[in-house]
Chains A and B, each alone.
Chain A
Amino acid sequence: MWKYEQRLQYPVKINKTCPKTAQYIMSQYGGPDGEMAASMRYLSQRYTMPDKQVGGLLTDIGTEELAHMEIICAIVYQLTRNLTPEEAKTAGFDAYYIDHTAGIWPAAAAGIPFNACEFQSKGDAITDLAEDMAAEQKARSTYDNILRVVTDPEVRDPIKFLRAREVVHFQRFGEALEKTKDRLDAKNYYYYNPEFDKQFGKQI
């Protein structure tokens, strides 16, 4: 089970309204490489992981991603909480405003709603961990792109923090993959699926 802690992992205090920035940042809530996809990916994949430590790592990183989702939503909320009707017409945010006013709803920067097809749970440990490593890189690139276009330090600071977490998570998934490889035959890591063909698995 999960319990709610009344704090953000990294504090968010934004004073300046900016619907355009909100539209960019929103992508890390409901976009293809966003925090919702990240948490759902890891918390879905963990059940069938053959290595208990790796299942535990997916639980802990998936939980941290939920906290990152909250940071992203807090940024979007604070960028739009004092939105004037005139500001609502900002190009890019105007279409979102018509459907959601200043409510928080998971969508990509280009307007595509969140969709479970943005992540995979393939039921194969090597495939899933390779996806997880790629997912951390895709999220890092998205944060790089945000840092290129956003100038407000009150927005940049939490974004830099979230970007740094992607690099750390990549390292952990790489280590999880090494641990998974230890259970397999180094002559051919693809000889069987360690999550499905249990009769071949090394007992560790």
Chain B
Amino acid sequence: MENQCLAVPFVPAQTWDLLYDPATALAEGTVFPGLNKPFFAAPEGCNTTLPAAADDPQILFSQYCFVLDDLLLYLDTHPQDEQAKACYQSFLVKKKELQKSASCGCCMTDHFEWDKKPLVWEGGHC
């Protein structure tokens, strides 16, 4: 708090706390409950279009990748946080295991085979 003084912005540093599960994280746009500040015109719990992991194994890959994206930014400003580092590593392992498993061909197709599946902007994903 010593940095709080007149005429300069101050934002308190986030501290490590419990995380959302990966499905909730992707639906809410953050893995950190403390940073989830929805707009009243977009009430919580109305994410109706995101498929469930049970119906779409590829969405699980998107969920893990997103948790990693959010944790990476946390680590950028908390590089000494051992709990966060361990959590990041655990999701990295989960992502790699999913990539290896037969149920998900996520990001396995070589880039030059663009015509083998729908393009990402057409609604195809990983």
Contacts and interface: CB of A to CB of B under 8 A. Distances in A.
A171 B11 contact: yes
Given A7-B62, A61-B73, A78 B123 contact: yes
A60 B77 CA distance: 11
B65 A9 contact: yes
B102 interface: no
A53 B79 contact: yes
A13 B49 contact: yes
Contacts of B73: 57, 60-61, 64, 168-169, 172
B29 A168 contact: yes
A196 interface: no
Contact of B3 (A154, A162, A181): A181
A143 B46 CA distance: 16
B82 to A, nearest CB: 17
A86 to B, nearest CB: 24
A41 interface: no
Contacts of B126: 5-7
A7 B30 contact: no
Contact of A175 (B61, B66, B77): B77
A177 interface: yes
